[in-house]
Amino acid sequence: MVAYQILGCRLGQAAVCVRMMSSNTAVQQSAKLAGKIAIVTASTDGIGLAIARRLGEDGAHVVVSSRKQTNVDSAVAELKGLGCSVLGLTCHVAKEQDRQNLISKTLEKFGGIDILVSNAAVNPAVGGVLDCPESVWDKIFEINVKNALQLSQLVVPHMQERGGGAIVYISSIAGFQPMNDC
């Protein structure tokens, strides 16, 4: 039994946010993504964890990551408790060695990569973009754009070896509907 819950999202008049909810606490496995390997960055809570869970529900082997080991451990325990095949790794996407480790440990454990969900992002600025110091803008661009591209460059050759793959970049609705104080 699958139910849907309408969430109060501010995405514009024509959009509706919906969250699929399982009828029980155990993962209801489907075979949609059986045998696929998915890496989800910044995936130990919030939307990243929800994406990782859904990929696991659909049969994928999932790699979750966070900068903090305690967060990784918690997410891995939750997903394993639901019956998901999961590997948890610490990864700060701004660190080259962490990105390399994320890929190499994924390949070591699962033998390939089919899906990358680039969810890691920062937004340290408070206020309008015109008041944003250059150093803050550089950090936003580095994490939200540059590091996402660098991860993509690392995974694409492995996806090509498996006949293709999918890369999903998670971004803000502000790209489509800017805020007035920008």
Where do runs of H (alpha helix) occur along 58-175?
69-81, 96-110, 134-141, 147-161
CATH of the domain at 96: 3.40.50.720
Judge whether 124 lies within some domain. Answer: yes
The distance from CA 153 to its chain's CA centroid, rounded to whole angstroms, is 16
Q: Is 74 helix (H, G, I), strand (E, B) or coil?
A: helix
Give the span between the Cα atoms of 80 and 56, in whole angstroms: 10
Closest-CA residue to 88 (of 107, 104, 102)? 102
CA-nearest of 85, 95, 45 to 62 is 85
103 lies in a domain? yes
124: confidence class by pLDDT, cuts 50, 70, 90: confident
Q: Is residue 54 part of a domain?
A: yes
Give yes or no for residue 2 having a pLDDT over 90.
Answer: no
Query: Has residue 165 been placed in a domain?
Result: yes
The pLDDT assigned to 114 comes to: 98
Please give the angle made by the CA atoms of 53, 168 and 134, to the nearest 5 degrees.
115
Q: Report percent pLDDT > 70 for the chain.
A: 79
Looking at residue 29, what is its pLDDT? Answer: 60
Long-range contacts of 76-82 (CB under 8 A, 24+ apart): 78/49, 78/53, 79/52, 79/53, 82/25, 82/26, 82/27, 82/53, 82/56, 82/57
Residue 156 domain boundaries: 27-172
Q: How many domains does the chain have?
A: 1
Q: Which amino acid is at 117?
A: V
* C-beta separation of 66 from 75 below 8 A: yes
- In this predicted structure, the answer to whether residue 20 has a pLDDT above a threshold of 70 is no
Q: Which of 65-74, 125-134, 137-146, 163-172 ranks highest by mean pLDDT?
A: 65-74
Residue 22 lies in a domain: no
Q: Look at residue 11 and tell me if it is in a domain.
A: no
**Looking at the domain assignment, is residue 90 inside a domain?**
yes
Q: How confident is the model at residue 12 (pLDDT cuts 50, 70, 90)?
A: very low
Q: Which pTM value belongs to this model?
A: 0.82
Q: CA nearest 64: which of 147, 54, 20?
A: 54
Give the Cα separation of 35 and 30 in Å (integer).
11
For residue 30, give Cα distances in angstroms to 12, 27, 52, 56.
Answer: 32, 9, 14, 9
pLDDT at 28: 55
Confidence check: pLDDT of 18 > 60: no
- Asked if residue 138 is part of any domain, the answer here is yes
